Structure 1
């Protein structure tokens, strides 16, 4: 009997060991199971978002005329590159330009009338009084109802991302030197006379302020008629057209379709005329992408004309991207003129 009990106990121990081994094996299998793949999110991408002006109380304080501020006592707003007082109170002025403004979480484009003010001490031999300048500007802007929407260092990765398409973006559209240790201060003024952005920057040697009074872009380029295109082709061998497409696409906008209709009239009334449709872009974005975009847009025009009945053998297509600008790409007006399609007569 004792022998039987002993054998039964040994059998139970063996079963228990097998069960433990199975559990360990199952545990090993679970540990070896593949980990779900994670997708890395690009947190450094510079996000643009429309600014909510309803969060800024309306100000009715008298602020005078654009650019709405002057130099504190002991300082001057100087001419560009030299230590002389700017006669009109502005170092640079543009009818239409922009400041890329930061809110602490995202950027937005403040477009409109723009002034850039470079500050120096009246006496060039005097050390720049940064604290006095900063306090003067902070108190003045607060007194007219301007709200500080960001103060500090814009994250380096955000700045670098802005420059990915054009390495002059930050230099052209953010006031001061946001790369280095001096903080930037961005203000919004929701005034009875309009919406205004101030960007204030200073260091121990100088200071800068950028001001934009917001307004929509006023397109002053008028579409030419078929007879005007013919006149240009007869005089200089080509007609230069600013055909509007959807942003970064080759899709015609309604006013672009009207201009294509005028090209059709030109070709329909001059049946011996053959043209090269040549696309051009501004310098914004990747050069290779711009080249392809210019070809795609020229093709859009060609196929639209062919669909209207123009023989395809009378048409050819070329794309130059941003390689042949009419004007330097240093303002929105110039960029608008560089985004064009040229109709070049084929002899």
Structure 2
């Protein structure tokens, strides 16, 4: 991004020396004395159940492809996706329902929910409020994301004027993904994170992910840009860090093209048979500019993901997932 420097990319080697301590997310004394600090909450039934499913392997999650703010459509999508291991919500730059509101609608249909929380858009107080609400609702967990800077070209809500990137939002970044992960664990929620192994500096990605694990992350959704050999290289490097972090591989799905769905299904079957992989995350690629203005085309994508998941479960019955690779001592 013009005028902005990524400290991770500029000094990546320092990441290997970083550690995480609970004191990094300790509430101020005044907040603890007044009772305003985020309470330590016992893990709920949904979080416990999902954690057990992850340990077993063969996990199939799906992103929520409905971009509508219509509660009825969101609930309908949740109902159709309720057989998934979990429904993973996302946060864009546009106006959406709050994460806890969306999670409440989905959980009400019986769906297991991992609610995405992005540090880009909220300060610590707002994030703790969402965590408290999600814990009260009883969702399984969160996807703790630092988030891309809102000035990134190509993001919704941004535009390029000459060499300047204009945005309708201002980033916050009061916390980052590791600190949010630690707070979410304090709230009794299961914690997932994301990683892009091919993003530079790629050699430091396993160490970066190990830092998230030390903060409380329990699962990683990998945005893989490569083949099975690249995946094996990454999972081996992750295991070498000692981070006991199950891996889900994100599988992009062009849901409007039958041939593309077939290819995505075949790729997902290969991934499910790969060592060190606990499951797949199905991510529908849908057109955000729905001509109806209601997001109803997202329901079509939901149905495609459900059919894919059914085929993948049948595949797992024939070809059980490999045993999980334990990290090095």
Which TM-score tier does this pair reach, normalised by the shorter chain?
under 0.3
Q: Which has the higher strand share?
A: 1
After TM superposition, the score normalised by the length of structure 1 is 0.21
- Whose helix proportion is higher, 1 or 2? 2
